[in-house]
Structure 1
Amino acid sequence: MNTRPYAFAVALLATVHLTDSHAQTRTPGVNARQARQEARINRGVATGQLNAREAARLQGREAGLQAEKRAMKADGVVTPQERQDLRRTENRNSRAIHRQKHDGQVR
């Protein structure tokens, strides 16, 4: 009996499983959006649309998102529901940035 095809199939499945489980913890969309929102905060400070207190509060919200993301990755899988929760938090943070930048307060 030739066991070589069986051994190949097992090795292939193990590789697919490792690759698939690794991909489930990746959050490139969240990472990119976090970077864009940080840039929006920095531009707001540079242009005077955000004062130091507003910027610190917004950066704290972004740090909270980072902690939330890290907690979701801790079990090795970021589920679709968790991704939706991250997007919801990102949306809230984005609205907060917009509100603070356009509230009429200056440096």
Structure 2
Amino acid sequence: MKSIMTGALLLVITSGASFAGTPLIDARQNAQSHRIYNGIASGRLTYPETKQLVRGQIHVQRLENRAKADGVVTPFERARINVAQSVQGARIFWKKHN
């Protein structure tokens, strides 16, 4: 179970690093992935919680990939990604502290 989730987190982290132009978004994604991994390692996250959080990380990464598809990330797209990351960050907090 842990190896599957670790592999999925690694995929999310590395898929965003291949593009340039959004270093703050990538750094935040990386930090949130580490928060999830630490929750797995400490035992604070159960398998279903981890699965849901990883799906959320993948959703944010897809938003970023779509925004970068035309080569330019507009301020609206950045704001949308930022909101999605904020929601994901809150979900990570609540899942780790329930």
Which of the five TM-score ranges fits, normalised by the shorter chain?
0.7 to 0.9
Percent identical among aligned pairs is 35
Unaligned 5+ segments in structure 2 are: 1-19
* RCO higher in structure (CA 8 A, sep ≥6): 1
If the length of structure 2 is used for normalisation, what is the TM-score?
Answer: 0.78
Partner Cα separation in structure 2 for residue 67 and residue 42 of structure 1: 20
Partner Cα separation in structure 1 for residue 29 and residue 47 of structure 2: 19
* Aligned-residue RMSD, C-alpha: 0.9
Query: Which residue in 1 is equivalent to 2:74?
Result: 79
Say which one has the larger Rg.
1
Unaligned 5+ segments in structure 1 are: 1-24
**1:94 partnered with 2:89:** yes
Which digits, 9 at most, give the CA deviation of each residue in 1:72-96, with x for residues without a partner? Answer: 1111110011101111000000000
Q: Displacement, 1:56? A: 1.0
Q: In the comparison of the two structures, how many residue pairs are matched?
A: 79
Question: 1:2-81 to 2 correspondence within 5 Å?
Answer: 26-81=21-76
If the length of structure 1 is used for normalisation, what is the TM-score?
Answer: 0.71
Partner Cα separation in structure 2 for residue 41 and residue 84 of structure 1: 23
**Runs of at least 4 residues of structure 1 off by over 3 A?**
none
Partner Cα separation in structure 1 for residue 87 and residue 36 of structure 2: 14
